[in-house]
Structure 1
Amino acid sequence: MSDLNQTYLAALKQARWERPDIAALKRSQHGSWLLESHSMTARLKRHCQRFDVDVVNVYQLTPDKLTTDEVALIGHEACVVREVILKGDGHAWVCGRTLLPASTLEGQGGYLNALGAVPLGQHVFKQRASRRDAIEVAEVTMPTGGLQARRSRLWLHNRPMLVAELFLPDSPMYGKEIPA
């Protein structure tokens, strides 16, 4: 894993998550990105010719390693952690970290164990029984300046997962929006 990816993941893990003032966030420069309720993958793909997922790490996390906030959002159980870098046309755009509880990976969610370099959102949002809630935001201070981050709970067949995303400096979030 590159030092830069390690730095981004460490920053994402230490983000101070807050529930946003939705009305104020909607009016902000980055609000539409942070409040995106559908697939971030689909939104990012509109800004590039080639979209890639670099899987940085996949590992098991025991319940005792979850924070109190994480337990409140997804329950107290073992998780698979999937850490990725989402890239558009070769540029790193988003550093993502997903907590997949063991119960979410059972039954209909079993295919999530074998995603590899396939984007999570590409699969989750194809399912009728998927939704996003509990959006939280953070501004993460990096040596190059502040970066925007969000954390949200995704539901697939009424089973939760927790996705945290750090929008990297080259992300289209910080540039001009391309209409849908």
Structure 2
Amino acid sequence: MSSSYTFPVGISSQWADPNHLTIPNPCLKDWLLDTDSLTEKLQSACTSFHLTLLGQRQAPITLEEFQQVCSTQQQLNLKEWQVREVILWGDNQPWVFARSIIPQRLCENDFMNLNTQPLGQLIFNDKRFKRMPFEVTNMSASKAFLAQLHISSEMHLWGRRSAFTFDDLKMTVSEVFLPSSPVYREMK
């Protein structure tokens, strides 16, 4: 497990409504569209689970990411957002790369000192968070994306993203299932 990751990594992909993509098998569909905590689902699929925090700070976000979290007439101001990127590991294999766009107000209050605590543990234990519908992607991961995560693979990767509302705030969580993830076991 190398700690020389480059932050931010980012996710360069097109996202779509799940009904507009053909998801090739039921197991993959279940992983992509399960509305429960992904962290808990991953933990139940392995004997050892941990999270590597790649970084969390104010960092550039894409216009598309901003459109996912902004309110009407809001201007892009990077000081209002933090980017958090992590790798979720199961049995010492990198299973998921996650990128979250979090309002600064949440980082200063409810999400202070997250460090290596999974974001999902907070979101799914707090009824104030409401999940919006999923979007999914089937991405041909670029060599640059995989190299930043120290992964070598030619396979297409699946991912999911959803926004969460919290009072008048919105945040997004995007998750890309990496090649060693249990998502792909039935597809190999």
Using structure 1 for the length normalisation, give the TM-score. 0.80
Identical positions, percent: 30
Matches within 5 A, 1:29-44: 29-44=27-42
On the 8 A contact 1:149/1:165 being kept in 2, the answer is yes
C-alpha displacement of 1:67: 2.8
Assess, with a 3 A threshold, how the Cα gap between structure 1 residues 22 and 125 changes in structure 2: closer, same or farther: farther
Structure 1 residue runs of 4 or more that deviate by more than 6 Å after TM superposition: none
Unaligned 5+ runs, structure 1: none
Report the more deviating stretch, 166-175 or 149-158.
Answer: 149-158
Matches within 5 A, 1:15-26: 15-21=13-19, 25=23
Deviations 1:152-171 (A, max 9, x none): 11233453211111101111
Q: Which residue of 1 aligns with 2:157?
A: 147
Distance 2:27 2:113 in 1: 36
Aligned residues: 168
Note if 1:174 corresponds to 2:184. Answer: yes
Assess, with a 3 A threshold, how the Cα gap between structure 1 residues 22 and 36 changes in structure 2: closer, same or farther: farther
Deviations 1:113-138 (A, max 9, x none): 31111111011101122221141111
Distance 1:167 1:115 in 2: 22
Q: Which residue of 2 aligns with 1:113?
A: 112
Distance 1:23 1:97 in 2: 22
Distance 1:4 1:138 in 2: 27
What amino acid is aligned across from residue 156 of structure 2 in structure 1? G
Assess, with a 3 A threshold, how the Cα gap between structure 1 residues 39 and 156 changes in structure 2: closer, same or farther: farther
Distance 1:16 1:22 in 2: 12
Unaligned 5+ runs, structure 2: 71-75, 142-152
Using structure 2 for the length normalisation, give the TM-score. 0.76
Say which of 159, 166, 177 aligns to 2:169.
159
Judging by fraction of residues, say which structure has more strand.
1
What amino acid is aligned across from residue 72 of structure 1 in structure 2? Q
Coordinate RMSD, CA, aligned: 2.8
Say which of 65, 74, 78 aligns to 2:69.
74
Q: Which residue of 1 aligns with 2:102?
A: 100
Assess, with a 3 A threshold, how the Cα gap between structure 1 residues 103 and 127 changes in structure 2: closer, same or farther: same
Q: Which residue of 1 aligns with 2:144?
A: none
Q: Secondary structure at 1:15's aligned position in 2? A: coil
Assess, with a 3 A threshold, how the Cα gap between structure 1 residues 147 and 24 changes in structure 2: closer, same or farther: closer
